[in-house]
Structure 1
Amino acid sequence: MVVLAASVVTKAGKVLVSRQFSDMPRTRIEGLLVAFPKLLGTTEKQHTYFETENVRFVYQPVEATYLVLVTNKHSNICEDLDTLRLLSKVLENSCSLDEEGICKKAFELIFSFDEIISLGHKENVTLAQVEQFCGMESHEEKLQKLVMQKKINENKDAMRRKAIEIYKSKIDRSKSGYLD
């Protein structure tokens, strides 16, 4: 199986999120995805896939959008459908299924797509594993957050000390007869 792209497309053909897994020009993938709703209207409604001259579209309607896998024609349709099911579960668990919710979570979706598909081939992972992998934090990230918080706290302390110093100097000047 070779997945060329995994995408979320509106029924009007607007691409919301797309992850490309092959060496194809971006314009080619965009052209395929924009043509998808038009091609969909010409197919039988009982299937969730259709083929063109060069590629196969495997899709699933999700609210007002379609989750679309663009694969080569020689890929295993059963594996494609299994991949599509897992991508659909990730999409449903990651965000609200409207256009705005999908766009807000675009990077999280792309990272999840990358965990499911690697170099165009489906990885042997479950939904729980994908969520675990995407939710993991690195030790370096935690250290960086601690260093940043320490710097913020030090700056706050320095600002407090400076404010107290300024306040004391004003009190000293007012006692000596100088008014600001």
Structure 2
Amino acid sequence: MVVLAASIMTKTGKVLVSRQFVDMSRIRIEGLLAAFPKLVGTGKQHTFVETENVRYVYQPIEALYLLLVTNKQSNILEDLDTLRLLSKLVPEYSPSLDEEGVCKMAFELIFAFDEAISLGNKENLTVSQVKQYCEMESHEEKLHKLVMQSKINETKDIMKRKASEIDKSKVHVESFLLYQIN
């Protein structure tokens, strides 16, 4: 099975989040995503639509669609299993399932999609495992944050010293001017 892309879009076709898992041009993925709303009929029982090149596997989530774009050679049962996993992940990372809520949590959703799908293939993971992997901290990240915080603190100290030096020089200039006036 090869998942080409996983996307969340409005029912009118506006793409909110999209993650490509294989190398493809931007024009191609935009064309595939733009074609999807025209292919979906209202009131259908099916959760997939096939074209000559790709298969769209989708699930409505309130006013949105969770969409997988796969190649036609992929196993439809595996595609549906992947869709099921992603449909459980979306509410975990975006509590409000509307356009604003999904856009606000776009990066978290993309990170979760990346954990669930690797190079177009579904990883054998549960929702709790994906959450655990996304929450893991790296030693390098902690070290980088500590270095950045120390630089910020050092800069603040330098600013305070400069401000006190400026205040002292103002006092000296004012006293010098007062001395000359008298």
Residue type at the aligned position of 1:116: A
The alpha carbon displacement at 1:98 in A equals: 1.2
Corresponding residue for residue 88 of structure 2? 89
Corresponding residue for residue 59 of structure 2? 60
User: Whole-Å Cα distance in 2 between the matches of residues 173 and 32 of structure 1?
Assistant: 71
Residues 89 and 172 of structure 1: is their aligned pair in 2 closer, same or farther, counting only changes over 3 Å? same
User: Whole-Å Cα distance in 1 between the matches of residues 170 and 26 of structure 2?
Assistant: 65
**CA deviation profile, 1:44-89 (whole Å, cap 9, x unmatched):** 6112112222221111001111001111222222211111111111
Residue type at the aligned position of 2:121: H
Q: TM-score, normalised by structure 1?
A: 0.87
DSSP 3-state at the match of 2:161: helix
Q: Please, which moves more after superposition, 22-31 or 142-151?
A: 22-31
**CA deviation profile, 1:19-39 (whole Å, cap 9, x unmatched):** 122343332222221111111
DSSP 3-state at the match of 1:19: strand
DSSP 3-state at the match of 2:37: helix
Q: Please, which moves more after superposition, 169-178 or 121-130?
A: 169-178
Question: 2:77 matched to 1:78?
Answer: yes
Corresponding residue for residue 45 of structure 2? 46
User: Whole-Å Cα distance in 2 between the matches of residues 40 and 105 of structure 1?
Assistant: 26
Q: Please, which moves more after superposition, 22-31 or 50-59?
A: 22-31
Residues 145 and 23 of structure 1: is their aligned pair in 2 closer, same or farther, counting only changes over 3 Å? closer
Residues 158 and 32 of structure 1: is their aligned pair in 2 closer, same or farther, counting only changes over 3 Å? closer
* Unaligned runs of at least 5 residues, structure 1: none
Aligned-residue sequence identity (percent) comes to 72
Corresponding residue for residue 118 of structure 1? 118
Q: TM-score, normalised by structure 2?
A: 0.86
User: Whole-Å Cα distance in 2 between the matches of residues 25 and 167 of structure 1?
Assistant: 59
User: Whole-Å Cα distance in 1 between the matches of residues 49 and 103 of structure 2?
Assistant: 26
Q: What is the root-mean-square deviation of aligned Cα atoms in Å? A: 2.1
User: Whole-Å Cα distance in 1 between the matches of residues 156 and 24 of structure 2?
Assistant: 51
DSSP 3-state at the match of 2:56: strand
User: Whole-Å Cα distance in 1 between the matches of residues 47 and 9 of structure 2?
Assistant: 15
The alpha carbon displacement at 1:127 in A equals: 1.0
Residues 10 and 174 of structure 1: is their aligned pair in 2 closer, same or farther, counting only changes over 3 Å? closer
DSSP 3-state at the match of 2:137: coil
Corresponding residue for residue 162 of structure 1? 162
Residue type at the aligned position of 1:159: M
The alpha carbon displacement at 1:165 in A equals: 3.1
Q: How many residues align?
A: 178
